[in-house]
Structure 1
Amino acid sequence: MKKILVPTDFSEEAEHALKVAAQIAKKHGSEIYLLHMLEIPMQETDAVSSHAEIPEVMFFMKMAHQKFEDIMNSDYLNNLTVHEIVKADGSFNGISEICKEHGITMITMGSHGASGFKEMFVGSNAEKAVRNSDVPVLVIKNNHDDFSVDDIVFASDFKNDNKETYLQATEFATAFGAQLHLLMVNTASNFTTTKKANDRINDFIQDYSFKNYTINIYNDESVEKGVLNFSKHIDADLIGISTHGRQGIAHFFNGSISEDLVNHAKRPVITFKI
C-alpha cells in the first residue's frame, strides 16, 4: 500500500474514496496518485500525444488542474504526499499503464453502489482497466470518517487458482491487524458436506503462516446471497473476492457469479486478481 492510485471525476463518491485513501496513507506512510482521465475522442488524443495545442483539450486540462488545487487544500490531505496526474487517454489501458509507470500497489475507487463497476467514476475505459488490474482494487461506497478494518470476509471456493489472491488478502489483513473470515458458501446446486468443505479449506491454507482467521461454511440460495448475508451477520468491515482479469467479477469461484455481489454490497469490497 505504499503507492495508492485514486481515479477521480471530482464527484462526491470519488471524494469518499480519496478520503479513505488518505486515512490509509497516514497510517502506512503511503503516497497518493490522484488521477483524472479526460474523455477525449481518439483523433484528439492522438493530437495530444503529439503536443498539439487543441483549444478544447487545453481548456479541460486547465479545469482539471484547477479542481486539483481545490482538493489539495482539503484538511484530510494535510502532510500527505499527493501526486497530480491528468491524462488524456482514449484507451482502457490508461490506468494499467499508470500503475506500471509509477509502481502503484493499490487502487482505491468510488462507486454509486447501485450500479457498481458499470459506473465507476472515470468511465467505461477505467472499468475495463480495473478488471485487468494486477494490484488490489478497493471499492468504496460511502463516506468513512474512520476507515478501520477489523473483520474481512474472504470468499472463495478454495481451489488452487485462488492461492495467490489468498496471499494478497493475508498481507492486507496483516497491514490492518484484521481477522480474516474464510468463507465457503454452500448452495443446493453445488453442495459440499461440512467435513469436505473444512478439509478443503484447511488443505488450502496449510502452507501459509497467517493464523488470524476463522473458517466458515454458510448455506444460502446462491453464492452471492451467502457472501452478502454472512458479511452482514458478522458485520464485516470489508469483503474480499478474487477476479479473473478480463472476465472480471462475474467469473470468480470458477463459475459465473453476477457483478451484483459488488453492486449490492453496502460495505467496501476489495478485489484481488487471480
Structure 2
Amino acid sequence: MNIQQIVVPVDFTPESYLGIDEAVILAKETGAVVKLLHVIDIPYVGERPAPFQMIADVGNVSAMGYNEDNPEVSYMHDLLGTVHERFDEIKKKYPEAKLEVEVKTDTMQRYLSEFVVKDGGDLVVVGTTGKSGARKSKAADIIRHAPIPVLTVTKERKENKYKNIVFASQFKYIDQSIVEHVKSLQQLHGARVHFVKIVSPSNFYTTPDVLSAIRHFAKENGFENYTSNLYNSIEVEEGVLNFARSVDADMIAMNTHGHTGFARTLFGSIAEEVAVHSEVPVLTLNERFD
C-alpha cells in the first residue's frame, strides 16, 4: 500500500495536534501529503444547511446576496479568519511537510467520508485523550464512519520506528486495505508483527485451530517476521490491551470486517474502545455493511 494522502481532522485541541505530529512523521517516512481538515459544525434546517454553509463554501457574501453587516455573516468571517491564522501557525511549525488545508462547514461525521471519497485519502490520523468525554466520542465517531483505515494516537511517538505491531483479529474476512497498511508499516520500520486471536469464555477456539488459521493467513498474505498467538481473556478489549503490553507493542491493528447485526456492533465497539484506551497508536478499519 502506497500511502499518498493522510487526512487529519483538526479542531485545534491539544489532542488534535498529536494527530498532526504523527501524520507529519508518517508523511516524512512515506512521502505522503497531509490534508488538515477542519469542519465547523453547523445547524441544519430540514435537509438544508443554515446560511453559514454557503458563506463558508463560497467565501463571498455579496455574491450570495447577504448583507455584510449581518451579525451572522460577520461572525462567520471572523471565525474563518481565526481558523486560517491557526493553520498558518501549524504550517510554520512544519516547514518541510507537504501540508494542505481544507475548511468546511458541515458535521465531521457527514463530511469526513465525503471528503475522503472525493479526494482519495489513504489513511486518517486522529488524536484523542484516551479518556471519557467529547473528545473520546469524536474519535470513536470517526473510527465508526471513516471509509478508510484510521490511526488513533493518544501520546507522542517515543521511538522513531514501530518495532512490534500487534494485529488482533478473528482472521476471517479481513479487508485487504488494513492488511496492506500493516505490511507497509512492517516493511517501512522492519517491525515484527504479532498476530493474536483473543479467546474468551463465550468465544472458545482450540489452540491448534487458532494457530493454524493465523499461519494460513500470514502465508496467504506474504507476511514474514511474525509470531502466532492465542490469548485468553474474559473481555476481548482487555485481552488485546494486555497482550499488547506483554510484547511491548508500539502499535495495535484491528479490523471489524465480516460482522453483521449484533456481532458487528459488538466487535466494532471493541475496536473503538481499544483505540481510545490504548497507550500506543491503534490502526482500525470499520468495514460497514449495507
* CA separation of 1:168 and 1:23: change in aligned 2, threshold 3 A: closer
Aligned length: 265
Q: Which has the larger radius of gyration?
A: 2
Of 238, 242, 245, the match for 1:232:
245
In the superposition, the TM-score normalised over structure 2's length comes to 0.81
Alpha-carbon distance in structure 1 between the residues aligned to 2:144 and 2:40 = 19
1:32-47 mapped onto 2 (5 Å cutoff): 32-42=34-44, 43-47=50-54
For 1:229-266, what per-residue CA distance to the aligned partner results, in whole angstroms no more than 9, with x for missing partners?
Answer: 1101111000111135998xx84786863743223212
Of 280, 283, 286, the match for 1:267:
280
Is 1:105 the counterpart of 2:122 in the alignment? yes
> Would the aligned equivalents of 1:36 and 1:87 in 2 still touch at CA under 8 Å?
yes
Give 3-state SS (helix, strand or coil) of 1:209's partner.
coil
> Would the aligned equivalents of 1:108 and 1:138 in 2 still touch at CA under 8 Å?
yes
Is 1:162 the counterpart of 2:174 in the alignment? yes
Is 1:191 the counterpart of 2:204 in the alignment? yes
Q: Percent identity?
A: 30
Stretch of structure 1 that moved more, 174-183 or 258-267: 258-267
1:100 deviates by 2.2
**One-letter code of the match for 2:95?**
N
Alpha-carbon distance in structure 1 between the residues aligned to 2:23 and 2:175 = 26
For 1:51-86, what per-residue CA distance to the aligned partner results, in whole angstroms no more than 9, with x for missing partners?
Answer: 563222212111100111111111xx1212111111
RMSD after superposition: 2.7
Which residue in 1 is equivalent to 2:135?
A: 119
* CA separation of 1:9 and 1:83: change in aligned 2, threshold 3 A: same
Alpha-carbon distance in structure 2 between the residues aligned to 1:203 and 1:31 = 35
**One-letter code of the match for 2:191?**
A
Alpha-carbon distance in structure 2 between the residues aligned to 1:245 and 1:189 = 18
> Would the aligned equivalents of 2:274 and 2:282 in 1 still touch at CA under 8 Å?
no
Which residue in 1 is equivalent to 2:192?
A: 179
Which residue in 2 is equivalent to 1:2?
A: 4
In the superposition, the TM-score normalised over structure 1's length comes to 0.85
Give 3-state SS (helix, strand or coil) of 2:174's partner.
helix
Alpha-carbon distance in structure 1 between the residues aligned to 2:265 and 2:84 = 38
1:177 deviates by 2.5
Of 175, 191, 205, the match for 2:218:
205
Is 1:64 the counterpart of 2:83 in the alignment? yes
Alpha-carbon distance in structure 2 between the residues aligned to 1:101 and 1:154 = 29
> Would the aligned equivalents of 1:220 and 1:226 in 2 still touch at CA under 8 Å?
yes
* CA separation of 1:156 and 1:252: change in aligned 2, threshold 3 A: farther
1:204 deviates by 2.8
Give 3-state SS (helix, strand or coil) of 2:161's partner.
coil
Stretch of structure 1 that moved more, 42-51 or 85-94: 42-51
Give 3-state SS (helix, strand or coil) of 2:86's partner.
helix
**One-letter code of the match for 2:248?**
D
For 1:148-205, what per-residue CA distance to the aligned partner results, in whole angstroms no more than 9, with x for missing partners?
Answer: 211110001111x115243442233223322211001111222211111112222333
1:18 deviates by 0.7
Is 1:30 the counterpart of 2:49 in the alignment? no
1:221-260 mapped onto 2 (5 Å cutoff): 221-244=234-257, 251=264, 257=270, 259-260=272-273
**One-letter code of the match for 1:68?**
F
Which residue in 2 is equivalent to 1:148?
A: 161
**One-letter code of the match for 2:249?**
A
Structure 2 gaps of 5+ residues are 45-49, 62-72
1:15 deviates by 0.9
Structure 1 gaps of 5+ residues are none
Alpha-carbon distance in structure 1 between the residues aligned to 2:43 and 2:82 = 18
**One-letter code of the match for 1:148?**
K
Give 3-state SS (helix, strand or coil) of 1:56's partner.
helix
Alpha-carbon distance in structure 1 between the residues aligned to 2:250 and 2:103 = 32
Give 3-state SS (helix, strand or coil) of 2:109's partner.
coil
**One-letter code of the match for 1:29?**
G
Alpha-carbon distance in structure 1 between the residues aligned to 2:51 and 2:259 = 27
Which residue in 2 is equivalent to 1:78?
A: 95
